[in-house]
């Protein structure tokens, strides 16, 4: 079965075609600057072919048409025609409390995703555009599935997802913690259990997804019981450009002082804060580490703040779960920064966490960092949200086919 995984933003469309027989990525790419001048497509195949072409896409439908031509013709071709694609899996950011699991696409599902746009104005409308464009280009009969960033956190108890504000705001406006990066936390926690050779329902795992956007999740016996991001992906840890959690008075006080309000004002916390805001240099962790090593004090402060916050959340989640069996680092920073991992794990022996300095310098998709004798296993596990989306899509399509066969067969029985 070949599955096309789609992650649609308002002006971008990332794709991967995965052959589920061996879970092999046949090709992947990105259509950038959709609907704005300067569009381009990057297309890579499994055997190393790579091309970057300027092309203008008026909309997502045109982007799909272009990526299909890349996949089916010329040196980047990996299939003969689109009939070889068995299903599409879409990443959807916000499923709120409506979608505890991934599901097959129906008109009702599209409506519900659209209704949730108020909670994810930057993401859900773009996903709908992608879904509609895919229906247009591939036909309404091709099965499509939606895999939500929020579903994995559906298992959080109210004491973890409620904010301590008047209850009526939860009832009236659905204000609560939803959490994000769920597909990544689910993938790496499952992989961690496999590596440990134990059922996930016997393990307490903390998964640290650290990238431009970052979140940490307490996975207690296979279920997310708490996570750092909140109602939106701005909450929790400081990130590349996002502030993370703040005292609400900071927000109102800045508004009062600067006279800024509304969406423009929110950009302060989403686009001008985090590593960028504190360092004044860059949102990119590599730039921060480089500048700090050259003596830049604000860069050093940004690094120290990040590691301190991660450490505090780890400590809190160990307390919440009553112990820890494994700690996982993933995301661009988690997978690549030995400095962040080293500083986060320093002086944690009393909690059972100790990483081996030499192993911490190793690169790889999966690295066991655990120092000899440490009670808690620590791993780097490269995340693979696309594969998780493809696996969910395959499972949903197969169950649906089975039920359909049963329904068809029933009258004869
Ligand atoms: P996104 O959240 O956009 O998917 P990524 O998961 O790709 O982001 O993470 C990007 C972050 O990872 C950047 O801050 C980048 O500096 C950091 N990063 C990537 N490689 C390294 C490295 N070798 N050392 C330190 N940080 C790195």
**Dihedral through CA 279, CA 337, CA 317, CA 116, nearest 10?**
70
Residue nearest to atom 3 of ligand 1 (CA): 212
Rounded CA-CA distance 335/341 in Å is 9
pLDDT reported for residue 122: 83
Mean pLDDT, residues 29-44 taken together:
95
pTM (2 d.p.)? 0.94
Q: Domains, the chain, ranges and CATH?
A: 2-148 (3.30.420.40), 192-382 (3.30.420.40)
Answer yes or no: 75 catalytic: no
DSSP 75-126: GG--SSSGGG--EEEEEES--TTT-SS-EE--HHHHHHHHHGGGG-TTTHHH
Q: Which residue has the higher pLDDT, 408 or 225?
A: 225
pLDDT reported for residue 408: 54
Query: Is the Cβ–Cβ distance between 278 and 302 less than 8 Å?
Result: yes
Rounded CA-CA distance 19/41 in Å is 22
CA of 363 to the centre of ligand 1 (A): 14
Annotated binding site: 7, 14, 91, 209-213, 284-286, 332-336, 385
Q: Where are the beta strands (DSSP E) in 183-325?
A: 204-210, 214-220, 223-227
CA of 334 to the centre of ligand 1 (A): 8
Rounded CA-CA distance 318/306 in Å is 19
pLDDT reported for residue 413: 44
- Asked if residue 336 has its Cβ within 6 Å of ligand 1, the reply is yes
10 falls in which pLDDT band (50, 70, 90)?
confident
Q: What is the pLDDT of residues 91-149, one digit of tens each?
A: 999 999 999 999 999 999 999 999 999 888 889 999 999 999 999 999 999 999 999 99
Express as a percent the part of the chain with pLDDT over 90: 93
- The strand pairing partners of 25, in sequence order, are 18
Residue 47 reports pLDDT greater than 70: yes
DSSP 292-349: HHTT-HHHHHHHHHHHHHHHHHHHHHHHHHTS-SEEEEEHHHHHH-HHHHHHHHTT-G
Mean pLDDT, residues 180-204 taken together:
98
Mean pLDDT, residues 275-293 taken together:
97
405 falls in which pLDDT band (50, 70, 90)?
confident
CA of 12 to the centre of ligand 1 (A): 19
Residue 163 reports pLDDT greater than 60: yes
Residue nearest to atom 12 of ligand 1 (CA): 332
Mean pLDDT, residues 219-243 taken together:
97
CA of 285 to the centre of ligand 1 (A): 6
Express as a percent the part of the chain with pLDDT over 70: 98
- Asked if residue 285 has its Cβ within 6 Å of ligand 1, the reply is yes
Ligand 1 pocket test, candidate residues 333, 335, 344, 362, most atoms within 8 A of CB: 333
Mean pLDDT of the chain: 95
Q: What is the pLDDT of residues 338-359, one digit of tens each?
A: 999 999 999 999 999 999 999 9
φ/ψ of 171, rounded to 5, equals -65, -45
Query: Is the Cβ–Cβ distance between 218 and 224 less than 8 Å?
Result: yes
């Amino acid at each position: 079965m070949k599955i096309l995984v789609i992650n649609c933003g308002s002006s971008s469309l990332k794709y991967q075609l995965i052959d589920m027989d061996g879970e092999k990525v046949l090709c992947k790419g990105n259509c950038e600057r959709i609907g704005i001048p300067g569009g381009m497509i990057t297309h890579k195949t499994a055997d190393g072919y790579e091309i970057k072409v300027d092309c203008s896409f008026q909309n997502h439908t045109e982007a799909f048409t272009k990526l299909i031509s890349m996949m089916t013709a010329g040196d980047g071709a990996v299939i003969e025609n689109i009939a070889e694609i068995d299903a599409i899996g879409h990443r959807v950011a916000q499923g709120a409390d409506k979608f505890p699991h991934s599901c097959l696409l129906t008109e009702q599902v599209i409506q519900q995703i659209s209704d949730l746009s108020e909670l994810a104005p930057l993401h859900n409308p773009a996903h709908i555009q992608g879904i509609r464009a895919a229906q247009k280009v591939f036909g309404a009969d091709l099965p499509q599935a939606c895999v939500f960033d929020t579903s994995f956190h559906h298992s959080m108890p109210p004491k973890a997802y409620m904010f301590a504000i008047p209850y009526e705001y939860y009832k009236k406006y659905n204000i609560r913690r939803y959490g994000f990066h769920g597909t990544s936390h689910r993938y790496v926690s499952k992989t961690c259990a496999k590596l440990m050779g134990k059922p996930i329902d016997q393990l307490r795992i903390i998964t640290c997804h650290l990238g431009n956007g970052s979140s940490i999740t307490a996975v207690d016996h296979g279920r997310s019981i708490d996570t750092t991001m909140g109602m939106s992906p701005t909450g929790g840890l400081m990130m590349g450009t996002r502030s993370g959690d703040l005292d609400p008075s900071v927000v109102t006080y800045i508004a009062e002082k600067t006279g800024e309000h509304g969406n423009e004002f929110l950009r302060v916390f989403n686009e001008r804060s985090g590593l960028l805001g504190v360092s004044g240099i860059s949102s990119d962790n590599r730039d921060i580490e480089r500048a700090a090593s050259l003596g830049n004090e604000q860069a050093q402060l940004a690094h120290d703040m990040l590691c301190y916050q991660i450490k505090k959340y780890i400590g809190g989640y160990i307390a919440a779960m009553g112990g820890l069996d494994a700690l996982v680092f993933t995301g661009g920073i988690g997978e690549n920064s030995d400095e962040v991992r080293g500083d986060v794990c320093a002086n944690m022996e009393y909690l059972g966490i100790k990483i081996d300095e030499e192993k911490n310098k190793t690169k790889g998709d999966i690295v066991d960092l655990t120092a000899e004798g440490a009670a808690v296993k620590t791993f780097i596990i490269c995340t693979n949200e696309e594969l998780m989306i493809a696996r969910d899509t395959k499972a949903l399509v197969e169950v649906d086919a089975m039920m359909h066969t049963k329904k068809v067969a029933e009258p004869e029985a």
